[in-house]
Structure 1
Amino acid sequence: MAFVLQLLIALLIFVVVLGGGVSILRLLGRGQPTPPPAGEMRKVNLRYRCDICGAELRMTLADEEMPEAPRHCQDEMRLVTPVE
């Protein structure tokens, strides 16, 4: 009787692991999402710096002319490019 119970538990674990693996492979097999329609992204030339660690970021495309500052080290980065 104990052998049958162990076999059922092993079969259940196998089905759960197999289902998880198949779902992950389906997600990977979907491919790239379609890009946004032309004209929605704007060219910008903004540079940001993290005050905590000094990391710098250059933003070249954004969905608006003056986008919200990105976050780094759990804090907003500081804009260092002069705004025209």
Structure 2
Amino acid sequence: MGEFFTAGNPVLGISIAVGFVVLLTAIGTALWFALIKARTKAASTEPNETTKAADLLRQSYVNGDITKEQYDEQLRNLQNPTKN
């Protein structure tokens, strides 16, 4: 690495150092934006209230707490709520 910092070629050494810093900054910026994008995507995939309610209803049916007819009716009500 010493050949870049010889007395006759100081500009080349400075250019390499500045280029390295710029490269590291660009990589850091890209990783930062990737992190923000991943966090946004993860937050948007959380289940909504209807999905949670349907999962609880399904679990009640699997446990035998409700009959198939009750399950079907309640699931239909969750998917197509009546407007008052």
TM-score with structure 1 setting the length: 0.42
Whose radius of gyration is greater, 1 or 2?
2
Structure with higher helix content: 2
Larger strand percent: 1
